[in-house]
């Protein structure tokens, strides 16, 4: 329960920060906007204008996720509706970050079981990877709640569901996000 409260508080803070940053005055010319759009057009996504101020990069309804928002300052991604890894289902939410020195990638992701409107409460995956050695530093797989115990029998099939990734899968997911972050930063 404490983890959920912390998670939702973090999401509220992140969204508030995006609102504040996104409301700043824009000074880019139309030509700069068009050039920036052309640079990221190959991702096949809709992009938000606040990408141009280099504080964050946002893709809505893209090939990678329904929402992908990259914060340039702290090198972190907020992702909802991740599409490229079926292990997380189609309804999920989480974050990925790279440490300031660029050596450690951290991922946390929760898969929705559809039991709570407006919230996610399914299995949880967390890991840290050393990007220099491709070594897994830490990994944690937490199960979905026991819905039978909670009296939510319509979701009993998801009770205690766990997403356990092999070390190979963890590295695949981690290196995918490392490359994605580098691609975003290069543009």
The tokens 């940053």 sit on which residue? 21
**Closest alpha carbon to 89 in 158, 11, 166:** 158
pLDDT tens per residue across span 114-166: 766 556 678 999 999 999 999 999 999 999 989 889 888 888 888 899 999 99
Q: What is the pTM of this model?
A: 0.68
Strand segments, DSSP code E, in 5-119 are 46-47, 56-60, 65-71, 76-82, 92-98, 104-111
Mean pLDDT of the chain: 79
Q: Over the Cα atoms of the chain, what is R_g? A: 18
pLDDT tens per residue across span 94-123: 999 999 999 999 999 999 877 665 566 789
What pLDDT, on the 0 to 100 scale, is given for residue 15? 64
Domain range annotation of the chain: 2-186
How many C-alpha atoms does 91 have within 13 Å on its Cβ side? Answer: 11
């Amino acid at each position: 329960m404490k983890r959920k409260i912390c998670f939702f508080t973090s999401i509220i803070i992140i969204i508030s920060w995006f609102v504040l940053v996104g409301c700043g005055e824009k000074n880019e010319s139309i030509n700069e906007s068009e050039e920036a759009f052309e640079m990221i057009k190959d991702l096949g996504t809709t992009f938000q204008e606040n990408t141009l101020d280099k504080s964050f990069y946002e893709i809505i309804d893209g090939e990678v996720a329904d929402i992908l928002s990259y914060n340039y300052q702290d090198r972190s991604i907020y992702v909802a509706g991740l599409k490229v890894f079926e292990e997380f289902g189609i309804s999920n939410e989480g974050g990925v970050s790279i440490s300031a020195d660029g050596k450690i990638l951290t991922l946390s992701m929760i898969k929705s079981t559809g039991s709570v409107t407006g919230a996610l409460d399914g299995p949880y995956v967390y890991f840290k990877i050393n990007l220099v050695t491709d070594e897994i530093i830490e990994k944690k797989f937490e199960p979905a709640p026991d819905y039978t115990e909670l009296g939510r029998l319509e979701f009993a099939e998801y009770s205690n569901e766990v997403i356990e990734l092999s070390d190979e899968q963890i590295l695949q997911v981690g290196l995918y996000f490392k490359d994605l972050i580098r691609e975003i930063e290069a543009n």
